[in-house]
A and B are shown apart, each in its own frame.
Chain A
Amino acid sequence: EAQVTQNPRYLITVTGKKLTVTCSQNMNHEYMSWYRQDPGLGLRQIYYSMNVEVTDKGDVPEGYKVSRKEKRNFPLILESPSPNQTSLYFCASSIRQGKGMNTEAFFGQGTRLTVV
């Protein structure tokens, strides 16, 4: 089954304790992205990756890191989490089709992170 898998689904952590949210896709997609979703703000892109070893900042990259060592995996790293990073996080992957534009994104189930 084609899917994007995020882990964990729920996470409560303390300020400053490094954490990693994993994301894996089995569709051989080139593009992967991380979004955070906050009430009234919709989905905001954190980082994206065009392919292995190619990553770039989205709209709200501060406080986050990513890596893309393999095509299928795109972990999100919070080196020193703070309470303002409490949010719902989504990983997504997509293929590219014509004119360089991306086709539809496939989303993971989300990770609800609480930083206390």
Chain B
Amino acid sequence: AQSVTQPDIHITVSEGASLELRCNYSYGATPYLFWYVQSPGQGLQLLLKYFSGDTLVQGIKGFEAEFKRSQSSFNLRKPSVHWSDAAEYFCAVGAPGNTPLVFGKGTRLSVIA
């Protein structure tokens, strides 16, 4: 069965610093991959997705992610973090057959001045 691992439970970065959130997946073929963001008290919002083609995908709010098949990874990056980026981030993988998405446990991002 497919699975997603987000190794970092909590990350703290300074405003203006760069950010990388890690995501590793387990799946036998090329998956569909997603990053979602959940701001406090809100639902989940899609940041970006990868289906096929260019392995570097651009998303909303200045985020990007790179699919690396050899490392089974789909890490999320942002060159300069803003205080409003403080939130919880979830990586998800599209599953085969008829089952919906599988989510990682999330990484909480704190931004300090």
Quick one: which of A43, A102, A103 contacts B90, CB cutoff 8 A?
Answer: A43
Asked if residues B43 and A107 are in contact (CB atoms below 8 Å), the reply is yes
Main secondary structure of the interface of B (DSSP, over half): loop
Kindly report which residue of chain B lies nearest to residue A44, judged by CB atoms: B103
Asked if residues A42 and B105 are in contact (CB atoms below 8 Å), the reply is yes
Q: How large is the interface on A (under 10, 10 to 19, 20 to 34, 35 or more residues)?
A: 20 to 34
Kindly report which residue of chain B lies nearest to residue A35, judged by CB atoms: B103
Interface size on B, residues (CB 8 A): 26
B53 lies within 8 A of chain A by Cβ: no
Quick one: which of B44, B49, B99 contacts A107, CB cutoff 8 A?
Answer: B44
Chain A 58-116 interface residues, beta-carbon cutoff 8 Å to B: 90, 92, 94, 97, 99-110
Q: How far is the CB of A8 from chain B (nearest CB, A)?
A: 14
Contacts of A104 in B (CB 8 A): 34, 46, 49, 101
Q: How far is the CB of B11 from chain A (nearest CB, A)?
A: 15
Q: B residues engaging A (CB < 8 A)?
A: 9, 31-32, 34, 36, 42-46, 49, 51, 90, 92, 94-101, 103-106
19 additional A-B residue pairs with CB within 8 Å, beyond A33-B100, A92-B100, A101-B94? A31-B100, A35-B103, A40-B9, A40-B105, A41-B105, A43-B106, A48-B99, A48-B100, A94-B101, A97-B51, A100-B97, A101-B95, A102-B95, A103-B51, A105-B101, A107-B43, A107-B45, A109-B43, A110-B43
